[in-house]
Amino acid sequence: MIEIIKLTERPNLAATCARWNHAEWGQAAGATEDQIIDGMHELIHATDGQAVRAALWNGELAGFVLLIHNDLDSHPHLKPWVASLLVAPEFRGRGVAKTLMTSIEATAHELGYSEAYLYTDKPDLYRKMAWSDYEELTGDNEGMLILRKQIAQL
Query: Measured between alpha carbons, how far is residue 141 from residues 13, 43, 71, 134, 146 in Å?
Result: 30, 25, 12, 14, 10
Query: How is the beta sheet containing 132-136 ordered, strand by strand?
Result: 2-6, 51-57, 60-68, 81-87, 115-120, 145-150, 132-136
pTM of the model as a whole: 0.94
152 pLDDT tier (thresholds 50, 70, 90): low
The β-bridge partners of 86 are 64
* Chain segment 67-121, per-residue pLDDT in tens: 999 999 999 999 999 999 999 999 999 999 999 999 999 999 999 999 999 999 9
- Predicted pLDDT at 153: 58
* Chain segment 5-35, per-residue pLDDT in tens: 999 999 999 999 999 999 998 777 788 889 9
CATH of 2-113, one of 3.90.550.10, 3.40.50.150, 3.60.20.10, 3.40.630.30: 3.40.630.30
